[in-house]
Amino acid sequence: MPFAGGVGMPQSLARVLVHLVFSTKNREPCIAAAFRPSLHEYLGGILDTLGCAPLTVGGTADHVHILCSLSRTRTIATVVEETKKGSSKWMKRQGLRDFWWQAGYGAFSVAQSQVAPVSRYIARQEAHHRVYSFQEEFRQLLARYQLPFDERYVWD
């Protein structure tokens, strides 16, 4: 249906921002500090390939945070699956033969007005985790987004 001015919309446009969080298998602290920038850059490259512009990628020894713009043609589940699969293979090629990501993940919507604060939060992960564990942080995110969860299953 045309808009008020009689002009239709010839293309599909979307800006859906997503904050993704996932950890290493059993939250093993196996991502060395010196190696993280390369991993984060690689994760960003995978997202670019998927049409999901990475805005910020960061994390610690046992998990990553990604703020990206979701492609209008991909599901969150597919983006996470492809990102984990590609980066896990890459980590193994870098010499971490026993590297695995945890099966689950968190995905949280982000308003455009919150890009800067979420980006700062991701960039400050090292300092943040001197005070809070990954589990405490993840519980806080789930509570902030009013997302119910079962402790028996969220950490496997």
Each residue's pLDDT tens digit, 37-53: 999 999 999 999 999 99
| Helices 76-93 and 36-49, axial angle in degrees (round to 10) | 140
pTM: 0.88
Residue spans of the chain under pLDDT 70: 1-9, 155-156
Q: Would you kindly state where each structural domain of the chain is located, as residue ranges? A: 16-145
CA dihedral 134, 145, 37, 62 (to 10 degrees): 20
Gap between the Cα atoms of 58 and 54, Å rounded: 11
CATH number of 16-145: 3.30.70.1290
Q: What pLDDT sits at residue 90?
A: 97
Q: Give the pLDDT score at 61.
A: 96
Percent of the chain scoring above 70 in pLDDT: 93
